[in-house]
């Protein structure tokens, strides 16, 4: 799928850029022809005028049969012809052409017959005026060899240069296609992994529900067994519901938050209320839970529910992964325009090799242990997503057997 998209991208890139290249080459060539022709014509007109002024205008007064002028042509001119006001040839140098002038005044590109081959010449026909009265016409021509050679060179350059450039464009398009597809490819792979992980996580509880339901549906031999099965189904369904909620949460809150939903939140107050809930839970796990929260408000623009969820996930983990008699502490303070929340425990800690991955979705250090605690490996991914959506960052320091400290850093506006 991605290879096809990449090919399509390269294809369209090459076509569009190639089109532009051809258009530019075409326009450039035409402009070049026009420019060279203009120079060529200017030179011809100069030479023609010089030659015409050497001629006595008086020859127009005399009616005579066409005669060959004794003058010689210079500057590469092929012929020079003088006609009277009735367009009849009076005098010429070089070839005489027709006796009657057929060309209109101005420039023409015409073939002229040389003994060996046809030569293309640029012909100039000028009206000759005396005291504002038309007394005749002057015509001269120069061969176009030099111009044709120069244009041939330009054509050769374009014939070789354009396909080579087109090839380079094609190769560039192929690499650009790869670059353009890379983020989509990565996102697609992530999505695929996420879907596979989510399905995998749901498969086990669904199988548990199914097998327990099948046993529960059998004629009851022991009512307590049936009740146990139903209880198991209820528990598994609850854990599935948590997983589904977490998955929905992750998909809904992807990306940064809209400014409109951000409100002024007092972080001290928010964490104080959260700490009350955990303080009540601590004795049941025989944990020593303490807080270090400032008395004064620390205000920032945030979504209070989301921030509470992030802090809750860190505290839940600290409670989950700290054995009885252990210590858990939550702290809040400010430092260089940032609010810092730290959740510290002296629990089991995290191995250094796992630390770079623990914020990945579905990543669990000890799968068996996490499953026992009901963890799906989504709590830290959710916390990180929330904090990043608030332009903050979440970091961790941990030593196996000594404990972990998670830190949330949020910008103060
Ligand atoms: P889970 O739901 O499995 O706890 P999390 O995303 O919250 O998923 O955490 C990912 C993994 O990081 C956990 O499986 C656990 O191994 C490790 N972990 C997270 N917090 C702590 C902690 N405070 N102490 C030790 N290990 C932790």
Residue range(s) in the chain whose domain bears CATH number 3.30.565.10: 257-411
SS3 353: coil
- Which residues make Cβ contacts (< 8 Å) with residue 158, sequence separation at least 6? 25, 29
Is the Cβ–Cβ distance between 348 and 321 less than 8 Å? Answer: yes
Measured CA to CA, the distance from residue 138 to residue 143 in angstroms comes to 17
Domain at 2-151: CATH architecture:
2-Layer Sandwich (3.30)
Site to probe by mutation for ligand 1, drawn from 309, 375, 396, 405 as the one with most ligand atoms within 8 Å of Cβ, is 375
Is the Cβ–Cβ distance between 143 and 119 less than 8 Å? Answer: yes
Q: Which residue puts its alpha carbon closest to atom 11 of ligand 1? A: 364
Q: Which residue puts its alpha carbon closest to atom 7 of ligand 1? A: 379
List for the chain the helix, strand, coil content (%; round to 5).
Answer: 55, 25, 25
Identify the bridge partners of residue 88 per DSSP, sorted by sequence position: 100
Q: What separation in Å is there between the alpha carbon of 347 and the centre of ligand 1?
A: 11
Measured CA to CA, the distance from residue 244 to residue 249 in angstroms comes to 8
Measured CA to CA, the distance from residue 122 to residue 142 in angstroms comes to 5
Residue range(s) in the chain whose domain bears CATH number 3.30.450.20: 2-151
Helix (H) or strand (E) holding 73: none
132: left (phi over 0), alpha (psi -120 to 50) or beta: left
Is the Cβ–Cβ distance between 228 and 212 less than 8 Å? Answer: no
For the chain, the distance separating the N- and C-terminal CA atoms, rounded to the nearest angstrom, is: 44
Q: Is the pTM of this model over 0.85?
A: no
319 CB near ligand 1 (under 6 Å): no
365 CB near ligand 1 (under 6 Å): yes
375 CB near ligand 1 (under 6 Å): yes
Atom of ligand 1 nearest to the CA of 366: 16
Tokens of 380: 């830290």
- Rg of the chain taking only CA atoms, in angstroms: 46
Is the Cβ–Cβ distance between 383 and 404 less than 8 Å? Answer: no
Domain at 257-411: CATH architecture:
2-Layer Sandwich (3.30)
Atom of ligand 1 nearest to the CA of 378: 6
Is the Cβ–Cβ distance between 87 and 104 less than 8 Å? Answer: no
Tokens of 296: 């004064």
pLDDT in tens, the chain (413 residues): 778 888 888 889 889 998 999 999 999 999 999 999 999 899 888 888 877 766 655 555 554 555 566 556 666 788 888 888 889 988 888 887 888 888 899 999 988 866 667 788 899 998 888 888 888 889 999 988 888 888 899 999 999 998 999 899 989 988 988 888 888 888 888 788 888 888 887 888 899 899 989 888 888 777 788 888 899 999 989 888 888 888 887 777 777 777 777 899 999 999 999 999 999 999 999 999 999 999 999 999 999 989 999 999 999 999 999 999 999 999 999 998 999 999 999 999 999 999 999 999 888 887 655 556 667 888 999 899 999 989 999 999 999 999 999 999 999 97
The C-alpha angle with vertex 293 and arms to 291 and 296, in degrees rounded to 5, equals 160
136 CB near ligand 1 (under 6 Å): no
């Amino acid at each position: 799928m991605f290879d096809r998209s990449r090919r399509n991208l390269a294809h369209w890139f090459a076509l569009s850029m190639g089109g532009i290249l051809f258009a530019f080459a075409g326009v450039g060539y035409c402009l070049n022809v026009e420019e060279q022709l203009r120079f060529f014509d200017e030179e011809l007109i100069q030479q023609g005028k010089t030659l015409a002024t050497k001629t006595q205008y008086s020859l127009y007064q005399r009616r005579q049969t066409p005669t060959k002028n004794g003058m010689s042509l210079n500057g590469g001119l092929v012929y020079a012809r003088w006609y009277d006001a009735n367009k009849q040839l009076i005098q010429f140098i070089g070839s005489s052409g027709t006796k009657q002038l057929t060309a209109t005044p101005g420039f023409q590109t015409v073939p002229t017959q040389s003994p060996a081959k046809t030569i293309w010449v640029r012909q100039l026909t000028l009206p000759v005026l005396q005291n504002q009265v038309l007394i005749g016409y002057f015509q001269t021509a120069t061969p176009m060899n030099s111009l044709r050679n120069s244009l041939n060179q330009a054509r050769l350059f374009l014939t070789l240069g354009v396909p080579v450039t087109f090839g380079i464009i094609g190769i560039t398009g192929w690499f650009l296609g790869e670059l353009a597809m890379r983020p989509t490819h990565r996102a697609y792979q992530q999505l695929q992994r996420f879907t596979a992980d989510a399905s995998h996580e749901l498969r086990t509880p669904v199988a548990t529900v199914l097998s327990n339901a099948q046993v529960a549906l059998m004629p009851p031999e022991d009512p307590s067994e049936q009740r146990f099965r139903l209880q198991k189904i209820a528990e598994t369904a609850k854990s599935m519901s948590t997983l589904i909620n977490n998955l929905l949460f992750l998909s809904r809150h992807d990306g940064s938050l809209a400014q409109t939903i951000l409100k002024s939140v007092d972080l001290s107050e928010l964490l104080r209320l959260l700490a009350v809930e955990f303080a009540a839970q601590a004795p049941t796990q025989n944990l020593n839970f303490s807080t270090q929260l400032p008395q004064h408000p620390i205000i920032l623009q945030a979504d209070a529910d989301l921030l509470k969820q992030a802090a809750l996930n860190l505290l839940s983990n600290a409670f989950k992964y700290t054995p009885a008699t252990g210590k858990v502490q939550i702290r809040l303070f400010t430092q260089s325009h940032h609010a810092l929340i730290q959740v510290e425990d002296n629990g089991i800690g995290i191995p250094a090799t796992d630390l770079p991955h623990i914020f990945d979705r579905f990543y669990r250090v000890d799968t068996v242990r996490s499953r026992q605690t009901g963890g799906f490996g989504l709590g830290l991914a959710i916390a990180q997503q929330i904090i990043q959506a608030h332009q903050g960052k979440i970091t961790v320091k941990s030593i196996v057997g000594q404990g972990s400290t998670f830190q949330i850093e949020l910008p103060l506006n």
